[in-house]
A and B are shown apart, each in its own frame.
Chain A
Amino acid sequence: MNTDVEDLLREGMERFTADLRAPAGLARRAARRRRRRLALRSGAGAAALTACAVALVAVVVPGGRLQGTALSSYVVKRVNSALSAAEPGEIAQMTVTTRSAMPFDGKTVTTTAEEWSYGTQWRSVTNSPDGSPVYDEGFSAASAYTLVSYQTRTWARQPGVGRPAAPVSGPHGCGPAVAALPPLLQYGLPGLHFASSPATVARTMRAAISCGTLAVAGRQRVNGTEAIELTSRPGSLISETIWVSPGTYLPVRVVIRSGPGRLALLQQTANISWLAPTAQNLAMLTVPIPAGFRKVPFVEAVPPVLRQIPGWASVHMALPGPGRLALLGPGPLRWPGLAVHRQLPA
């Protein structure tokens, strides 16, 4: 019987498949199907992730306020992974709006800047209230800092300054000594000019979230996306809020606020886009030198730019030279200014 079944099976297989012919263009069809599947996957995957994250927040955060730490840990872990992946691979583009209080009279000033950060490269263009550039600065792949002043129509380049610092992740970056100044300010993004030196956007945010001071607070629409909101603990000297995309877990907006009278900075908002490092996007990291601008020595280029910074003149005019910026210690007296101000030669 064994042999019979085996033979019959063999014959049956031959017989039932004898008239089968494969359709033509299998490879072409497979290529088309693969493309369609990839497109569907990227769309549906993002949608599914969004739905999951939103559902998670909706379920675990009744009324939009976190009751436990499990959700926060999960989201923070995902954000950390997303930032880790974005660190070498994507360009962070930010539009930063800073509202500062002038010393003495308390008058508020609002400045805007466009920022780009990619690995150790960064660029920051500070605009006047009418939107025209005041100064443009950046650190290039060739390890040189470039500063262009649109006021004086001059530019300068200095090697060796402006390299982003590496934030200290983990307990050392979150100790009581720095509790008053959250990591986002402590290390500073290229556009957050409070820090001792600019750090990359992704690394600074990773350092900030790794401190465990941020918790999921709910969800909110940011630029048309239902984003997950992570906020610092109530009662902090400075409140930090990060909104992350539930699809990619990358931050899409950061807001830093301080109470009146505590810091010169009242509020800083950074809207963030994550761009692929295409040739066109990478070009945005280069500080262009406009035609007709005059090259000047670096120490000569800095002071006129510093005078453009709101409140700078009234506070620091007595200090000589660009090195005066280095005299300022970390803390609430720091002022929006050049990202490299702590590294300037005296």
Chain B
Amino acid sequence: MTADRSTAELERFLAERADHLLRTAVLLAGSREAGEDLLQTAVERLLRRWGGFDGDPEGYLRRTLCNLTIDGHRRTGRWRLRERLLRGEPMLAQDVTGQVDLRDALVRLLVQLPARQRAVLVLRYWEQLTDAEAAAVLGCAEGTVKSAGSRGLARLRELADDWNDTTAMCGR
């Protein structure tokens, strides 16, 4: 990439890749609103260095999204997340039929994982990155990614079991 690029060029890039990045952000943040906010912050950071930026903007944004999530993207954002959890507000789009199956539940349960575990699972299962690639994005060792992913899945399994038990008891 050449240096000193214009904002219009960034707009063009975002027109192509922003949908995908927004989805990543929503999965990381736990709601559409928080995801948009997260992506906006990441774009803002990219914009700050856009003039002399020399690299892969998508990679930069993906890395920033993950870092912001792990660093606890905005205290207010986290507070809103907890607030919504406490109020039982839907975190992600509800199934239009009202039939919440395990797939929905798993994604909803994702937000209850620690940020690093969530980021690893999003990179692995949404972005389809290998553990080595995820480690490069997160700036940590591959072993850390492996253990975080393994712990994250184990926790999801527990939560899924609880969810299965609860829905069975409620006759869903």
Contact = CB atoms under 8 A, between A and B. Distances in A.
B145 interface: no
B34 interface: no
Contacts of B153: 2, 5-6
Nearest to B13: A27
A34 B11 contact: no
Interface in B65-111: 92-93, 102-107, 110
Interface string A166-194: 00000000000000000000000000000
B48 to A, nearest CB: 7
Interface in B1-21: 7, 10-11, 14-15, 18-19, 21
B104 A27 contact: no
A156 B23 CA distance: 72
Given A5-B106, A5-B153, A6-B153, A13 B27 contact: yes
Chain B interface mostly: helix
A19 B93 contact: yes
A25 B11 contact: yes
Contacts of A28: 7, 11
A31 B6 CA distance: 12
Contacts of A37: 44
Given A5-B106, A13-B107, A13-B126, A33 B27 contact: no
Chain B contact-residue range equals: 35 or more
Nearest to B128: A10
Interface residues of A, number: 29
Nearest to B124: A6
A31 B11 CA distance: 11
B23 A27 contact: no
A283 interface: no
Given A2-B153, A34-B48, A26 B18 contact: yes
A26 B14 contact: yes
A30 interface: yes
A34 B40 CA distance: 10
A27 B107 contact: no
A5 B113 CA distance: 15
Given A5-B157, A9-B121, A22-B14, A30 B43 contact: yes
Interface in A301-334: none
A107 interface: no
A10 B43 contact: no
Most chain B C-beta atoms within 10 Å of own C-beta, residue among A10, A17, A19: A17
Contacts of A27: 7, 10-11, 14, 43, 47
A20 B32 contact: yes
Contacts of B46: 30
B115 interface: no
A139 to B, nearest CB: 37
Chain A interface mostly: helix
B7 A11 contact: no
A12 B104 contact: yes
A15 B15 CA distance: 22
Nearest to B44: A30
A26 B107 contact: no
Contact of A10 (B14, B26, B125, B160): B125
Nearest to B103: A12
B150 to A, nearest CB: 10
Contacts of A29: 40
B156 interface: yes
Contact of B23 (A20, A23, A34): A20
A137 to B, nearest CB: 43
B134 interface: no
A10 B127 CA distance: 10
B106 A22 contact: no
B60 to A, nearest CB: 13
Contacts of B10: 27
A70 interface: no
27 contacts: A1-B157, A5-B157, A5-B160, A9-B107, A10-B125, A10-B126, A12-B102, A12-B107, A13-B27, A13-B126, A16-B27, A16-B104, A17-B27, A20-B22, A22-B18, A23-B36, A25-B11, A26-B11, A26-B14, A26-B43, A27-B47, A30-B44, A31-B44, A31-B47, A33-B40, A33-B44, A34-B47
